[in-house]
Amino acid sequence: MEKQQKIAIILLPLISIVFLLGVAALRPEEADRYIGIGQGYGGNIELEVSMREDKITAINIIEMNETANLGDEAIEKTIEKIIDAQSTDVDTVSGATVSSEGTIEAVSDALVKHFGVEGVGQGYGGEIKVNLKHDGNEFTAIDVIEMNETENLGDNAIEKTIAQILENQTTEVDVVSGATLSSEGLIEAVENALEAQYGVEGVGQGYDGEIRVRVKADEEGIHAIRIFEINDTPDFGDSAAEEVIEAILETQSTEVDVVTGATLSSEGTIEAVEDALSKQ
């Protein structure tokens, strides 16, 4: 075998490896994607927002039921405005205000899951401030921004309480012995962050246990309802709960019909929403 051939046999695999590594290095970083939901004119507007390095790179429509050639076009125009401005602080589209506002609400919902939302509670040594990330289904991160608790006691209690919340996916966890106020302050901060993101919690009695929801509402109406806990029959009781929620949002009233065959699930959902509204 000639010397040049031997060199080529050795070099070709090395060149291939270097080439592949170079391509991998040049490949764009995978975007993080978040689902956001807002209330439009014809029901929920569900969007997928893609983020890379804290910038909005794309917004895709997953579901919407807006008026053809009006509300749907308003959604597209609002999406373009948000991406151009890199902000949800944009003007609504004339003649389709509700569709525009629902789009902004959906994008804001998704952005909160990326950036998180702050909550404050009262600890032993003062305020405890956290940044909470919750993707709509579970807690993904809880970071302490500010706290002045006793070193090696209150601060440790806060870390343990965070670990419990993330492990159990609920704020209904035990306080740390000897550091009750620190634990309770952390739980309060997380609860306040949840309320800021999803609204006030309400509880009702369903067919097979408690139904827990969070409701965002103000003087202008009910803006969003999200189920956080339900143990009723899968694909039946839970579907009835979702159907009742759609009816409440559409009519802006809890005086809606129950779903045939799922009376207890329907009534439990209504009770939970009413419980949340009573706390607004």
What's the mean pLDDT in 232-243? 95
Phi, psi at residue 210, to the nearest 5°?
Answer: -75, 145
Rounded to whole angstroms, the Cα distance separating 99 from 76 reads 10
Number of domains the chain is built from = 3
In a domain, 63, yes or no: yes
Give the tens place of pLDDT for each residue, 185-213.
999 999 999 999 999 999 999 999 999 99
Give the tens place of pLDDT for each residue, 138-174.
999 999 999 999 999 999 999 999 999 999 999 999 9
Q: Could you tell me the CATH number of the domain that includes residue 44?
A: 3.90.1010.20
Under 8 Å between Cβ of 241 and 265: yes
pLDDT at residue 77 greater than cutoff 90 = yes
- Domain endpoint, select from 115, 148, 179: 115
In a domain, 154, yes or no: yes
- Domain endpoint, select from 115, 144, 177: 115
The pTM (predicted TM-score) of the whole model is 0.76
Q: Give strand pairing partners of 39.
A: 44
Q: How confident is the model at residue 29 (pLDDT cuts 50, 70, 90)?
A: low
Angle among Cα 97, 87, 80 to the nearest 5 degrees reads 60
SS3 163: helix
